[in-house]
Amino acid sequence: MTIDLENISKSYGARKVLDNFNLEIADDHSYVITGPSGSGKTTLLRIILGLEEPDSGKVHLMGDYKYAWLNAGVVFQENRLCENFTAVQNVVMVNKKNSVKVAEEELLRLLPEDSIHKPVSELSGGMKRRVSIVRACCIPSDMLILDEPFTGLDSDNRKLAIDYIREKQGRNPLLITAHDTEGLEFCREIRL
């Protein structure tokens, strides 16, 4: 599978955040998009996901697709968790093949046992972030797209999360946005 971003431009009023941006995203490759706040990182991800239209340019999905859109496991900047559901319920709900047992096993790789059956509203910001990562990685997908996934994680939990993501990535492409690229040396760095 390849995604080809061709001459993507996007402005908000007089402010241009993307200007003829080009990138080919291929299988077996990992990318980290970095740059200052407001440089267009999140906008670019939203364009790839079809949640926002570019002013000009085209996103080409190339490969054997049954659908005209990308099937991706996604971590958004905000967690987008069901706050009244437990961590386990949040993981089970995104894939009918995720049993409670599988969700528990996956969550325990990044979270303490006493946290996975609590409503996520009771979890810390870093714990919620880890639930979001597990949930995104438990969706059958063509690609993982993670927008600032390590926000609120200390260095030990960041390393655990990176190792988990790399394992779950398999041969699919991985696209991460990050201000801090520590631990992401395996990614091709794209600066905006």
Per-residue pLDDT of the chain (192 residues; tens, 9 = 90+): 678 899 999 999 999 999 999 999 988 899 999 999 889 999 999 999 999 999 999 998 865 555 566 789 999 999 999 999 999 999 999 887 889 999 999 999 999 999 999 999 999 999 999 999 999 999 888 899 999 999 999 999 999 999 999 999 988 999 999 999 999 999 999 999
Phi, psi of 9 (to 5 degrees): -125, 145
Which residue segment(s) compose the domain that 120 sits in? Answer: 28-39+69-191
**Is residue 73 included in any domain, yes or no?**
yes
**Is residue 151 included in any domain, yes or no?**
yes
Q: From residue 107, give the alpha-carbon distance in Å to each of 91, 113, 125, 179.
A: 8, 8, 15, 25
Question: Which residues fall within 8 angstroms of residue 46, CB to CB, at 6 or more apart?
Answer: 52
| Whole-angstrom Cα Rg for the chain | 17
Question: Three-state SS across 126-192?
Answer: HHHHHHHHHHHHCCCCCEEEEECCCCCCCHHHHHHHHHHHHHHHCCCCEEEECCCCCCCCCCEEEEC
**Is residue 74 included in any domain, yes or no?**
yes
Residue 35 near residue 56, CB atoms below 8 Å: no
**Is residue 109 included in any domain, yes or no?**
yes
**Is residue 61 included in any domain, yes or no?**
no
**Is residue 111 included in any domain, yes or no?**
yes
- Name the CA dihedral angle for 103, 106, 108, 110, rounded to a multiple of 10 degrees: -130
Structural domain count, the chain: 1
In CATH, what number is assigned to the domain containing residue 75? 3.40.50.300
**Is residue 116 included in any domain, yes or no?**
yes
**Is residue 84 included in any domain, yes or no?**
yes
pTM assigned to the model? 0.92
